[in-house]
């Protein structure tokens, strides 16, 4: 069982530990479509299989949905964020995903969500996808930006030539220990809902929730990561468990953002929401002893500044 000194928030024990996150390279793109329904379909497709760079080409998700008044072309839209460990890896992932999932999606267009980015740190997008036009594509200036109009069977796919990048933070996290699966899921869903009201962050896992938290390494040498057995209730008697007595379920939330502050704010919002739900026995976070990621989010700091 976890022996760390515990804090409390709304009567729920909070472990005096920290979440360890990593520096990444991120980008933001805006996708628009004729209807809100097609925006949601495009968002789901392009951010699929993008939960963890352990095995995916990128981590991706919805930052927020946009009204026609907020989008670049006056149509419904969505702001999406993508993260990878290098600019070259990010460029490959975003180009492939937009090419396969947005170019193919009815009525969509794709724009950079970083209009004041450093040109030296931009990645190619439309400048690569334009070749699909087979010589019929047309370049278009939009202020000081360049767009490509690529002919497709329902009209034209408009795509920004290049998109900006930024230094991101990936891997902020919370672990929720609950009495049972239902209460654990409801508490974690409440945290996800609170976090999704914020901008500048994404929750890359399914519905924002991770059931299969991992640790570094495995007894099988080919695996980079394996199940976090210290937080698996069913093997408590077979391993060194970190679970409080009575735990029947643990869920994790992973947060990626465009800054330390954005991730920290999301973690705090989630922490407060979880602490208000029944059946929560403990809230903690995952780290690697501070050896692998330079961004450390101490739960005691989140509690102290929560105002509760």
Pick left, alpha or beta for residue 279 (phi over 0 → left; psi -120 to 50 → alpha; otherwise beta): left
235 belongs to a structural domain: yes
**Cβ of 117: how many Cβ atoms within 10 Å?**
18
pLDDT at 6: 72
In the listed set 118, 136, 164, which residue is the last one of a domain according to the structure?
A: 164
Is 1 inside a domain boundary? no
Q: What is the distance between the alpha carbons of residues 260 and 46, in angstroms, rounded to a whole number?
A: 25
What are the tens digits of pLDDT across the range 36-86? 999 999 999 999 999 999 899 999 999 999 999 999 999 999 999 999 999
Phi first, then psi: what are they for 68, rounded to 5°? -55, -35
Per-residue pLDDT tens listing for the chain (308 residues): 554 657 999 999 999 999 999 999 999 999 999 999 999 999 999 999 999 998 999 999 999 999 999 999 999 999 999 999 999 999 999 999 999 999 999 999 999 999 888 889 999 999 999 999 999 999 999 999 999 999 999 999 999 999 999 999 999 999 999 999 999 999 999 999 999 999 999 999 999 999 999 998 999 999 989 999 999 999 999 999 999 999 999 999 999 999 999 999 999 999 999 999 999 999 999 998 887 899 999 999 999 998 87
Confidence at residue 2, expressed as pLDDT on a 0 to 100 scale: 53
> Which pLDDT score is estimated for 301?
97
pLDDT for the residue 4: 64
* 134 and 206 share one domain: no
Contacts of 264 (CB under 8 A, 6+ apart): 172, 297, 301, 302
Last residue of a domain, one of 122, 145, 164: 164
Q: Across the chain, which distance is largest between two alpha carbons, in Å?
A: 66
Measured from the Cβ of residue 64, the count of other Cβ atoms closer than 10 Å reads: 17
What pLDDT is attached to residue 9?
Answer: 96
Distance CA 275, CA 281 (A): 9
Contact 59, 170 (CB under 8 A): yes
Pseudo-torsion of CA 67, 193, 251, 308, nearest 10°? 140
In a domain, 121, yes or no: yes
Assess whether 186 and 141 both reside in one domain.
no
Q: What is the pLDDT of residue 5?
A: 55
Structural domain boundaries enclosing 197: 6-17+168-304
Any idea what the CATH number is for the domain that residue 31 is in?
3.30.70.520
Question: What total number of domains does the chain contain?
Answer: 2
Do 257 and 181 touch, CB atoms closer than 8 A? no
- Does residue 269 sit in the same domain as residue 214? yes
Which tens digit of pLDDT belongs to each residue from 250-273? 999 999 999 999 999 999 999 999
**C-alpha–C-alpha distance, residues 104 and 305, integer Å:** 46
Task: Give yes or no: residues 173 and 152 share one domain.
Answer: no
Q: Give the pLDDT of residue 116.
A: 84
Last residue of a domain, one of 129, 164, 199: 164
Alpha-carbon dihedral angle through residues 67, 71, 73, 79, given to the nearest 10 degrees: -110
Q: How far apart are CA 110 and CA 104, in angstroms?
A: 12
d(CA 167, CA 24): 6
Would you state the pLDDT for residue 73?
A: 97
Integer Cα distance of 173 and 284 in angstroms: 9
Q: 182 and 66, same structural domain?
A: no
**Residue 122 in domain:** yes
Report helix, strand or coil for 19. Answer: strand
The pLDDT value recorded for residue 308 is 75
Q: d(Cα 129, Cα 150) in Å, to the nearest integer?
A: 8
């Amino acid at each position: 069982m976890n022996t760390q000194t515990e804090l409390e928030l709304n009567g729920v024990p909070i472990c005096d530990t920290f979440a360890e996150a990593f520096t990444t390279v991120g980008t933001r793109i805006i996708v628009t479509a004729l209807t809100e329904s097609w925006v949601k379909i495009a968002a789901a497709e392009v951010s699929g299989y993008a939960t963890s760079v352990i095995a995916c080409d990128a981590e991706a998700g919805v930052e927020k949905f946009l009204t026609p008044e907020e989008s670049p072309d006056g149509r419904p839209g969505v702001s999406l964020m993508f993260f990878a460990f290098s600019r070259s890896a990010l460029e490959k992932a975003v180009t492939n995903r937009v090419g396969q999932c947005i170019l193919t999606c009815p009525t969509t267009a794709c724009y950079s969500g970083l209009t004041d980015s450093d040109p030296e740190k931009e990645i190619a997008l439309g400048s690569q996808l334009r070749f699909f036009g087979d010589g019929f594509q047309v370049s278009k200036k939009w202020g000081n930006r360049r767009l490509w109009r690529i002919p497709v069977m329902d009209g034209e796919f408009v795509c920004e030539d290049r998109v900006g990048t930024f230094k991101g933070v990936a891997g902020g996290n919370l672990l929720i220990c609950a009495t049972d699966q239902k209460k654990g899921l409801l508490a974690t869903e409440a945290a996800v809902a609170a976090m999704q009201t914020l901008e500048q962050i994404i929750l890359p896992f399914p519905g924002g929730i991770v059931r299969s938290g991992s640790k570094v390494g495995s007894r099988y040498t080919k695996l980079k990561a394996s199940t976090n057995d210290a937080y698996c209730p069913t093997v408590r008697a077979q391993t060194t468990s970190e679970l409080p007595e009575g735990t029947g379920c643990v869920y994790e939330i992973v947060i990626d953002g465009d800054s330390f502050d954005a991730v920290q704010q999301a973690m705090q919002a989630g922490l407060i929401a979880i602490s208000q739900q029944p059946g929560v026995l403990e809230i903690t976070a995952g780290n690697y002893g501070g050896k692998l990621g330079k961004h450390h989010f101490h739960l005691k700091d989140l509690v102290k500044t929560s105002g509760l």
